[in-house]
Structure 1
Amino acid sequence: MASSIVVPGEDLQEAAASMRRVLQHINVKRSSADFTQVVGAPVRGSAENFEDRWDAGRKQLRQECDDIVQAIDTILDAFTAVDEQSGDSLGGDR
């Protein structure tokens, strides 16, 4: 009994497109805000600490999103190639 491998290609393409939209909105630039003026001297240190951590987080998030999109593209390419090769070997290209 043969079993099938079903790759949800459309779902994967939609996931990659969604991730690309997320990537378009991730601002990887550090804030240029003057925290003393924006939040005042008493909380400036905390605001700068948060900005430092968020800056690192944005960069990590962007890299991980890039990795996910690349992985999805790799999966789709591999399964497309296997599907085409399988069709060719069965005479589907005639």
Structure 2
Amino acid sequence: MAQDVNIPGDELLEAQSMLGFVHDFIDIGHNTFDFDAAFGPELSRGAAQNFENKWNDGKQQLQKQVESVKDAIGSILDAFTKTDQDAAQNLDEGQGGQ
């Protein structure tokens, strides 16, 4: 009846780390990307610049959401670590009483 509970701690830590990377590099800055070289001056002044303007509007919201998911993963890891420590402590106390 009882089934093993497997918490993928390493995978959650890796996901948290990668979200930190994504968060830090969402905004590479307009000055680091040369639209003219990549798309030509005609396109960069039109569609590419329009995209950049819209991206600027959304990236702050995306950064907040990524940070929220990263924090949630941290909370999950903290909760399972505490639960594991509490269970181990209870087992140790139970063995000492016998």
- For residues 69 and 43 of structure 1, the distance between their equivalents in structure 2, rounded to whole angstroms, comes to 34
1:51 Cα deviation after fit:
2.9
TM-score, normalising length: structure 2 = 0.69
Q: State percent identity of aligned pairs.
A: 34
TM-score, normalising length: structure 1 = 0.72
Runs of 4+ in 1 over 3 A off after TM superposition: 42-49
Q: Which runs of 5+ in 2 are unaligned?
A: 32-39
Query: What CA deviation, in whole Å up to 9, does each residue of 1:29-79 have, x standing for no partner?
Result: 6x47xxxxx946x97565554333111221122111101110110000000
Q: Which runs of 5+ in 1 are unaligned?
A: 33-37
* Higher deviation after alignment, 72-81 or 60-69: 60-69
Higher helix share: 2
Aligned length: 88
1:9 Cα deviation after fit:
0.1
Check the 8 A contact 1:12/1:72 in 2, yes or no.
yes
